[in-house]
């Protein structure tokens, strides 16, 4: 009985950790895209006509 509880706890922790890793990966991609857009816009503003 005790072994089953440990397996459940480990499974729940694994799911939480995987969820956090996926969330951080998605946030990193969004931030990278925003930084790229911001650099392009700031470059366009500073270019002389």
9-46 pLDDT, tens digit each: 999 999 999 999 999 999 999 999 999 999 888 887 76
Tokens of 41: 């816009």
The answer as to whether 49 is a domain residue is no
The answer as to whether 48 is a domain residue is no
Q: What is the pLDDT of residue 43?
A: 82
Q: Residue 27: which domain range?
A: 1-43
Q: What is the pLDDT of residue 36?
A: 93
The answer as to whether 36 is a domain residue is yes
Its sign, for the CA torsion 38, 40, 43, 48, is negative
The answer as to whether 26 is a domain residue is yes
The answer as to whether 25 is a domain residue is yes
- Number of domains the chain contains: 1
Q: What is the pLDDT of residue 42?
A: 84
Q: What is the pLDDT of residue 30?
A: 97
């Amino acid at each position: 009985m005790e072994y089953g509880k440990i397996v459940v706890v480990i499974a729940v922790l694994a799911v939480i950790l995987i969820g956090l890793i996926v969330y951080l990966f998605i946030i990193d991609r969004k931030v990278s895209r925003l930084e790229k857009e911001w650099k392009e816009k700031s470059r366009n503003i500073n270019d002389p006509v």
